[in-house]
Structure 1
């Protein structure tokens, strides 16, 4: 296991301290969250009783493989704790998420949770958001127009970068389609001077389904290192 992967594992392992018997647990998406889901599966086999709410089909599949019992989002009115990763975290616990393409479901689950525990390797802690391209989930209809409005929002809010790009994958460079059936525009802001202002601007754009700036949702941040993990709480 590389130092980076070990750091992710250590962050995920530390998050188990926030899981109690009988809880409904939000299950995040991404490589660090995958470690947590596998570790939670180990605890379930040892007798822990929990129900998971997955934030993506990939997480659903993994949870089923490791034996974590699941609930549909329609079956819950609140979630006890959500454990999820992040692509960037600033000192105000504002996040950039969506590198794995699950930002819409991740935000729905986080907003429904009494406590959100963010797990990441220590490199994800930054003074200012923006170096990681900001994912914006958009409707397929009119996506080019929406992308232009996103670019204008970056300009208007003083971001250092204003380039936007449709996320594609595979040999044919086909657009990535989210679990919700939408496209993702990656906004290369480079540096976001005011995440709150940009978030508000993006919310006003017709065609934007959700953006990857998470504000006021995280309660605990666990930064994994090659040896152990650092826990930060607001």
Structure 2
């Protein structure tokens, strides 16, 4: 089995386990990324089979919105509901305290709003996303207003970060978020206090949100392989 096939199996297993936790009548935050794409697909399957009825989704990105429409999940906005029952989303890193780095898909601002409002936030990852300390394998994404690029870059450098403007793939120029903003990917030698760094980054004028999610996740579902058999482990 190739590594890509193994990762796909783990993502599908954990996505299915998360989708099965959705109950009829729920308002569900729909995350962004390759694993949550499988979650949305499985929710659509459950709706078509009538195993699940009367759910409403709140997408965290244009990608999630397109997929939800494709699989027949009715969508609403935060203006339409008083609360969210559940949010399901992926992560780029998960530490032992269930703190996260998110934003590989440049959707972390909307994701943090939706995930933080949910009564329960389930994170779906494959085992490669588990780290001993945040920042070990993935930089901290920062969404910022375009006009603030230079001052935000300087401020981050003064904090000890190494910022890089995220550039498009098969596109000339930088990545543009769904809100029309830029993304800086910031590498830190060490993140000793994720909560303090999250607050400090968000206090820089021009920054909308960063990808540190501290104290937000309730349950981590981890897709793993036992030989060639996928299994799901829960961390709560």
When normalised by structure 1's length, the TM-score is 0.93
RMSD: 1.2
Misfit runs of 4+, over 6 Å: none
In 2, the alpha carbon distance for the partners of 1:189 and 1:27 equals 29
CA spacing shift, 1:190–1:46, aligned 2, 3 Å? farther
1:156-185 CA-partner distances (Å, limit 9, x unpaired): xxxxxx311111114554111101111000
In 1, the alpha carbon distance for the partners of 2:175 and 2:91 equals 20
Offset, 1:43 = 0.5
The corresponding residue for 1:151 is 157
Offset, 1:17 = 3.3
Offset, 1:142 = 2.1
The corresponding residue for 1:60 is 65
Offset, 1:46 = 1.2
Which residue among 12, 29, 34 is the counterpart of 2:32?
Answer: 29
CA spacing shift, 1:51–1:128, aligned 2, 3 Å? same
In 2, the alpha carbon distance for the partners of 1:175 and 1:142 equals 15
Q: Is the 8 A contact 1:121 1:225 kept in 2?
A: yes
Secondary structure of 1:2's aligned partner:
helix
User: Where does structure 2 lack aligned partners over 5 or more consecutive residues?
Assistant: none
Secondary structure of 2:79's aligned partner:
helix
Report whether the alignment pairs 1:124 with 2:129: yes
In 2, the alpha carbon distance for the partners of 1:35 and 1:52 equals 15
Say which is worse superposed, 113-122 or 174-183, in terms of deviation.
174-183
Number of aligned residues: 226
1:115-136 CA-partner distances (Å, limit 9, x unpaired): 0000000111111000201100
Report whether the alignment pairs 1:205 with 2:204: yes
Q: Is the 8 A contact 1:77 1:112 kept in 2?
A: no
In 2, the alpha carbon distance for the partners of 1:172 and 1:40 equals 32
The corresponding residue for 1:86 is 91
Report whether the alignment pairs 1:40 with 2:64: no
CA spacing shift, 1:22–1:172, aligned 2, 3 Å? closer
Secondary structure of 1:91's aligned partner:
coil
Say which is worse superposed, 182-191 or 35-44, in terms of deviation.
182-191
In 1, the alpha carbon distance for the partners of 2:157 and 2:87 equals 32
In 1, the alpha carbon distance for the partners of 2:20 and 2:219 equals 12
Matches within 5 A, 1:87-106: 87-106=92-111
Offset, 1:191 = 3.2
Report whether the alignment pairs 1:230 with 2:233: yes
Q: Is the 8 A contact 2:156 2:162 kept in 1?
A: no
The corresponding residue for 2:56 is 51
Offset, 1:190 = 4.6
Offset, 1:67 = 0.8
